[in-house]
Structure 1
């Protein structure tokens, strides 16, 4: 499952089967968190990142380069309008949308705004529910497993059994606390040094689809085997108490 709803996924909805993009193949992977309709001139004061904006009658009065500049600053996902309003889109506006990778979706006039908005909202809610259900399932399985074992010393292997992730935990002194059995963590973490921390990379994404960063660890052993390990700090009451290390799949 995708980590968020994208413009490409929105375009697969039945209501968009006759729709087209003003500038094809741009912004298809833009994230969509919400959909809103432009009903006031200063709509940008009320937008948030990843909003998909509907513009109807107000297009011919307010859609200009200045508005597109503001929409870019708001980091919107894209714009939706209807065929009958397309003539109000100037070439300059269209070119700027292309430059900023703001997809402009032109819909069939036969659909009302509610007919367009409802399936988009439903898709967003469905996606959020699936993520929530997956998270609940994961935590329930993890808690159940740890409860049966009666110990946190096998935490990494329990996570591995549920998710397939190969990971380890070390404390502030670089002492190995726990690790999965599928990888020779002791060997690859031997002589753990801070100068082997080479760069930051995206480890994963949170519930909102936002990336969180980890640090790439690369020592001579890893260079030889072309393995990659990412680590990120664990905090308790504002203080770093150790690191979780993840073997990159």
Structure 2
């Protein structure tokens, strides 16, 4: 044999899986093929051999499988040697690893076109020695494949036991990542579904290379086992999947040699163990979140019980200082199930950034936060809203509450501000309770039919939007009341001539009454216009 065997190979199939077998280069290294010669397709020596087959019929294409090494004496093609170059293309198209042929008995030589075709395709053509039987080749190569796979399984099982022991001892993602890095002698990182690095292990220089490669490798399908080679070394990414959900990936980097199939097997076992760790942590987090939410709900409804401050400190909350309550309520027409979790995560991140001692909990259709009164409440609300891209929520801010006993009243204020703010400004509104003014009082009226009746009785034909002229007159009335009947200022704001505005005032008084002289009528008109501004009543 004139060619050095290729290193252990990994090939990415169309499904994203890695084949386990031996490379063509390694097959050429077995003793029965010591005198074999590679006559074409040298660039394909890393093709993987998983099985062997013997060509006994001319229509062999119907029987071959991917990753096969096909052996032949050329007997089926003895009468049509001109078809050999086409055979190479067909075999390559079907994913065969290589073709090994004996010459002299049925074929004296291979056509030059066949050899050229094999070189172009990187399809190995191997010339077999005449004194070696096919059964010897079959036995030796298949034994080598089986031994290789048995060694891979044994190594993988040993690694699996070590990883499971970590879980049984209470270890987490950090310990799993360190164990894999130690087993493979490479740099390893575990990242979550969003690409955030959860843990790294290995030599610092290689870890830095791995981070850089992972940051630039965003096009890889997240659900596939993905090997790739960069300028610095070799990488493999294995998905972490549990319950049909993609939780991230384990990524390994080796600077010297490619990661072989047994390494990939260990990474796959590590991904399974990492999925167990993640689901276990999610279960613990869910229970803790429920306790937090139940405790905060009790506080907000006045049922906090004894030792409130002590219990709050156990959650990392400080409720012994002046605080304010923020209520974020999901807006109508938003699918709650798809937004609720991201909404809660966005609020956790925003509160942690501005007040690490603040409390956050999610209820059925809202998120409640209790933060220090000195914090920038509108900024927290805006940051949380920016963290949810596929839905909106309206946020209400309360007055300052002096301790846990005042939280029920502050919660009521924040909830009222969220709902009135949405009525006034639409979805995504941020409103402080102190800024509601008269709308706070109007929102206390539960009988919306009575509010509608009041508007109709007070504004008459100006209450509706069916007539454009009436809507325009209502706008004139609103600006007049806002300027305290200052005709000159109203004309300036509306871009009317002074005489035109005087004419409009006369028309309004014929419709509504002498509001320019009747303070009580002006008050009623102002309230009616405020009610119209409140959406959803």
Structures share fold, TM-score greater than 0.5: yes
Answering whether residue 149 of structure 2 is matched by residue 128 of structure 1, we say: yes
TM-aligned CA deviation for residue 200 of structure 1: 4.8
Answering whether residue 118 of structure 2 is matched by residue 100 of structure 1, we say: no
Alignment check: 8 A CA contact 1:22 1:105 kept: yes
After superposition, residues 149-168 of structure 1 pair within 5 angstroms as 149-153=169-173, 154-168=175-189
Structure with more helix by fraction? 2
**CA, structure 1 residues 21+197, in 2 after alignment: closer, same or farther (shift >3 Å)?**
closer
Answering whether residue 63 of structure 2 is matched by residue 42 of structure 1, we say: no
Match of residue 20, structure 1, among 22, 37, 58: 37
TM-aligned CA deviation for residue 135 of structure 1: 0.8
RMSD, aligned α-carbons: 3.9
Match of residue 74, structure 1, among 82, 94, 103: 94
Aligned residue for 1:87, secondary structure, equals: coil
* Structure 2: gaps (5+ residues): 1-6, 10-20, 256-537
Normalised by the length of structure 2, the TM-score is 0.36
* Structure 1: gaps (5+ residues): 189-193, 217-225
Aligned residue for 2:130, secondary structure, equals: coil
1:221: which partner in 2? none
TM-aligned CA deviation for residue 67 of structure 1: 2.0
TM-aligned CA deviation for residue 43 of structure 1: 1.6
1:191: which partner in 2? none
Alignment check: 8 A CA contact 1:168 1:176 kept: yes
Normalised by the length of structure 1, the TM-score is 0.72
Aligned residue for 2:49, secondary structure, equals: coil
Aligned residue for 1:22, secondary structure, equals: strand
Answering whether residue 229 of structure 2 is matched by residue 212 of structure 1, we say: no
Aligned residue for 2:52, secondary structure, equals: strand
Alignment check: 8 A CA contact 2:186 2:203 kept: no
After superposition, residues 1-249 of structure 1 pair within 5 angstroms as 2-3=8-9, 4-23=21-40, 25-56=42-73, 57-61=75-79, 64=83, 65-84=85-104, 85-147=106-168, 149-153=169-173, 154-172=175-193, 177-180=198-201, 183=204, 197-200=216-219, 212-213=226-227, 233-246=239-252, 249=255
TM-aligned CA deviation for residue 88 of structure 1: 4.8
CA distance in 2, matches of 1:89, 1:30: 22
**CA, structure 1 residues 62+135, in 2 after alignment: closer, same or farther (shift >3 Å)?**
farther
Aligned residue for 2:181, secondary structure, equals: helix
CA distance in 1, matches of 2:38, 2:187: 42
**CA, structure 1 residues 16+109, in 2 after alignment: closer, same or farther (shift >3 Å)?**
same
Q: Per-residue displacement from partner, 1:120-154 (whole Å, max 9, x unpaired)?
A: 1111111111111111111112222332x223253
Larger relative CO (CA 8 A, sep 6+): 1 or 2?
A: 1
CA distance in 1, matches of 2:139, 2:53: 11
CA distance in 2, matches of 1:14, 1:69: 29
Q: Per-residue displacement from partner, 1:217-246 (whole Å, max 9, x unpaired)?
A: xxxxxxxxx999986653333333334455
CA distance in 1, matches of 2:59, 2:127: 22
**CA, structure 1 residues 62+73, in 2 after alignment: closer, same or farther (shift >3 Å)?**
farther
TM-aligned CA deviation for residue 46 of structure 1: 2.1
Aligned residue for 2:100, secondary structure, equals: strand
Report how many residues are paired: 228
Alignment check: 8 A CA contact 1:59 1:89 kept: no
Q: Greater CA radius of gyration, 1 or 2?
A: 2
Alignment check: 8 A CA contact 1:141 1:162 kept: no
Alignment check: 8 A CA contact 1:155 1:178 kept: no
2:530: which partner in 1? none
Aligned residue for 1:89, secondary structure, equals: coil
TM-aligned CA deviation for residue 182 of structure 1: 6.2
